[in-house]
Amino acid sequence: MKPYLIVAALGLGAVFSQTASAAALKVFTCEPEWGALLQELGGDHLDVYVATSALQDVHKIQPRPSLIAKYRQADLVVCTGSELEIGWLPPLAEKGNNPRVIPGAAGYFEASRYVHMLEVPEKLDRSEGDVHPFGNPHIQTSPENIGLVAKPLADKLAELDPADKADYAQRYASFDTRWQAAMAKWTAEAAPLKGVAVVSAHKGWVYMYHWLGMTEVATLEPKPGIPPSGADLENVLATLKRTPAKMVVYAAYQDPRPVGWMEEHSGLPGARLPFSPGGLKGTDDLFGFYDVTIQQLLNALNGKSS
């Protein structure tokens, strides 16, 4: 085998790749919520690939060969951003050889740019755990944020696929109408949750608590990203004696054992939430996602553990 043969093979491959093009806009989404939102906003105009599931911890994804292959083909990448994907999106960009979607290109969309970030740390120090310098990136826990992202995302689709511009505008208008109505319904249903104190497994729910007026008195994780030890759980239990709470809130992807321990020793019910679309049964679309989230919280408030 000679070097020039390899170079020739590379060139040949590059020529073949140009013939591969599809009608639909290929979208690579980092999280299921953006996949679900794109289904609402783009429907059949899009070929959407969702890189992670609600049963994965999106902080810790491997830049697998299959993800590199999908990244290579994308016309648009939609991610939460704010360093949520910092452990795996940069390796995809380095290996994925796709200038259309690298950060800064027209085909890169970062949802967290369009919402007001909460919990921006005042001090950046790893002794505080795996902190996110741009604020808490789990913006999908409030439907208000989905509403804020929808318009710029619809505009982005129209920019990349101008032929279907009118359809994207009409789909956005329809979605926004249904979304505002759904948010009014959820807010009304969730009225009993206002002012309720809770314990969270991970600092993942600040936007939901802010939206529903709930308060977080403790987290099971001593620092973000650091699993709780027995002593940490005892500390939370002691905190609960001084500052009572009503339930333990945790995500479907999380290890249920610390939550089980806390339920047993504190007597509090656990509220298992989908965290992202697909995390629990009936949450594949965005409407079902918040329906089930509110229902699980109300069940826990009524003492029913999930």
Partner 1 sequence: MSHLFRRSAAALLILGAPGAVLAQTQSGNSFNPKISLILNGQYAHYSSKAPADVAGALLGGESDYAPEGFSIGETELAIESNIDDQFHGWTAISIGNDGHGNADVSVEEAYINTLALPDGLAVKLGRFFSDIGYQNHVHAHAWDFADAPLVYRTFFGGQLGDDGVQLRWLAPTDLFLEIGAEGLRGDAFPAGGDSRSGVEAWTAFAHVGGDIGFSGSWRLGAWHYDGKSDDRRSSGDEDVDTSFTGKSHINGLDFVYKWAPNGNPEVHNFVLQAEAMRRSENGSVIYDPDGAADASAYDGTQFGWYVQGVYQFIQRWRVGLRYDRMNASNSVANPVGGTSLATLADDGDHPQRVSAMLDFSNSEFSRIRLQYNRDESRPDNKADNQILVQYIFAMGSHPAHQF
Residues forming the site for partner 1 (CB under 8 A): 1, 3, 6-7, 9-10, 13-14, 17-18, 20, 52-53, 55-57, 60-66, 68-70, 72-73, 83, 86-88, 90-91, 93-99, 102, 104-105, 116-122, 124, 126, 129-130, 133-135, 210, 225-227, 253-255
Residue 149: CB partners within 8 Å, gap ≥ 6?
A: 34, 37, 111, 114, 115, 139
Compute the least distance from the CB of residue 167 to partner 1, in Å. 27
Compute the least distance from the CB of residue 69 to partner 1, in Å. 4
Q: Give me 51's structure tokens.
A: 């890189």
Residue 230: CB partners within 8 Å, gap ≥ 6?
A: none
User: Which contacts qualify for 86-95: CB closer than 8 Å, 24 or more apart?
Assistant: 87/59, 87/60, 87/61, 88/61, 88/62, 88/63, 89/30, 91/63, 92/63, 92/67, 92/68, 95/63, 95/68
Residue 39: CB partners within 8 Å, gap ≥ 6?
A: 46, 48, 285
In one-letter notation, the amino acid at residue 267 is G
Which H helix or E strand runs over 138?
A: none
What burial letters (b/e) apply to 271-305, b meaning 16+ CB within 10 Å?
A: bbbbbbbbbbeebbebbbbbbbbbbbbbbbbeeee
Compute the least distance from the CB of residue 302 to partner 1, in Å. 27
| CB nearer partner 1, residue 88 or residue 109 | 88
Q: Give me 6's structure tokens.
A: 């390899």
Q: Give the whole-angstrom CA distance, residue 56 versus residue 114.
A: 25
| CB nearer partner 1, residue 87 or residue 269 | 87
Q: Which of 226, 35, 259, 23 is nearest to 149 (CA)?
A: 35
Residue 113: CB partners within 8 Å, gap ≥ 6?
A: 81
Compute the least distance from the CB of residue 102 to partner 1, in Å. 6
| CB nearer partner 1, residue 60 or residue 304 | 60
| CB nearer partner 1, residue 146 or residue 158 | 146
Compute the least distance from the CB of residue 159 to partner 1, in Å. 19
| CB nearer partner 1, residue 158 or residue 206 | 206
Q: Give the whole-angstrom CA distance, residue 134 versus residue 137.
A: 8
Compute the least distance from the CB of residue 228 to partner 1, in Å. 10
| CB nearer partner 1, residue 151 or residue 165 | 151
Compute the least distance from the CB of residue 90 to partner 1, in Å. 5
Compute the least distance from the CB of residue 130 to partner 1, in Å. 7
- Quote the distance between the C-alpha of residue 144 and its chain's center: 14
| CB nearer partner 1, residue 8 or residue 166 | 8
| CB nearer partner 1, residue 42 or residue 135 | 135
